Homo-oligomer: A and B are copies of this chain.
Amino acid sequence: MFDITLAHNKTKGADMINRLQGKNPFFSCVIGVTETAKISGISAAGENPEITDYTPPADVELLQLGKCKCIPGVPITPDGIPTPALITMSALDLASIPTLAVNAGLRIKPHVPFVDVGGSPGNDIRTGKALKNAKEVMTRAQILGENLSKTVDYLVVGESIPGGTTTALSVLLAMGVDAKGKVSSSMPLNPHELKTKTAEAALKAAGVKFGEFIESPIKAVSTVGDPMQPAAAGLILGAAKNVPVILAGGTQMAAVLAVVTALNPDVLENVAIGTTRWIIQDETADLTGLVSQIADIPVLAADLDFTKTTLDGLKAYEQGVVKEGVGCGGASIAAILKSNGKITKDVLLQEIEINYKVLVS
């Protein structure tokens, strides 16, 4: 009926779609940066490692202004493929979905309003000391989530944090999830070996064994995580007590889900993951395999389809580049459901192509 695939836990997924259909969503994008992202070869969320500090603020500028201010053009991969924020922006605009960025830890501030939850940029996880004040960040984000839940029908929580699948991997390992070789990458050749080596170095530096922090999510993110994780988890914990929440992302959201599940499994009835078809079809990763180890929640996938486009930077998405980010899957799902299906994958592609031509060419 809708251009949304029930990718995992189909009964619960169909139920969630029924609950959200025609309702009024709010899209929050949790942004942060880390030194982990600057390890050579880890992240493609920027033309080069140093510029990853600019990618998250540029992404939320794109959502709010329709253009970036802190960089010229839009964020691109080293191969020149544009940010998935193009998709998110198109979906939010089409369905008139309100949005607000949450700064979980940035070096460069966006030129748009953002919520400060007291976070700082993350250290290189290979120090074993990733975050300073994860608990405080989570507590403040939780207050934000509680307040938003009193006024929105449901919340969509996206993220933009370069290197986030590597910090997801290390947190998942610390929390006892068999995640090696299962996290996605924005690159077509998923550098699993480098990610695993980095995550293992992080665990070793922190003196943490596989699964040792299964009941200590704050310790997991504080030692080997990234600032997006406690901020997103807090937001979800605060909001999902009252309203449904879509965790909009790929395997990075599996780490957030692990944190939420360890702290308050009661909210999971209100939680689903919303991602893209490209993540589900990614043979180099296994999102549903990760989710099924953590919690009994559904995974929905926006059936985004760029096979018919003539634009090279979008075609690349069908060749396994980027795949997800800036909550583009969840935002697309929210746009489809808010419009009761009037927004289809074809309508989305048309809008994305228009924005691409203005912003990228």
Contacts and interface: CB of A to CB of B under 8 A. Distances in A.
A147 B98 CA distance: 5
Contact of A141 (B102, B111, B113, B151): B113
Q: Please tell me how many copies of the chain the complex holds.
A: 2
Interface stretch (A3-11, A115-123, A185-193): A115-123
B150 A97 contact: yes
A152 B100 CA distance: 14
Contacts of A103: 116
Contact of A112 (B24, B100, B102, B143): B143
A115 B101 CA distance: 9
Contacts of A96: 150
B140 A98 contact: no
A157 B186 CA distance: 42
Given A115-B115, A118-B111, A98 B143 contact: no
B116 A151 contact: no
A99 interface: yes
Interface in A66-123: 96-100, 102-103, 109, 111-118
A113 B109 contact: no
Contact of A151 (B113, B143, B144, B151): B151
A114 B113 contact: no
A103 B149 CA distance: 21
Interface residues of A, number: 32
A98 B26 CA distance: 15
Contacts of A149: 98
Contacts of A355: none
A115 B115 CA distance: 4
Given A100-B144, A147-B100, A150-B98, A115 B114 contact: yes
Given A24-B151, A151-B26, A151-B152, A112 B99 contact: no
A344 to B, nearest CB: 22
Interface of A: 24, 26, 64-65, 96-100, 102-103, 109, 111-118, 136, 140-141, 143-144, 146-152
17 contacts: A24-B150, A24-B151, A26-B151, A64-B143, A96-B150, A98-B147, A98-B148, A99-B147, A100-B147, A109-B118, A111-B136, A113-B117, A113-B118, A113-B140, A113-B144, A115-B115, A151-B152
Given A65-B143, A98-B149, A98-B150, 18 more contacts: A24-B151, A64-B143, A64-B147, A97-B150, A98-B147, A99-B147, A100-B115, A103-B116, A109-B116, A109-B118, A111-B118, A112-B143, A113-B115, A113-B117, A114-B116, A115-B115, A115-B116, A151-B152
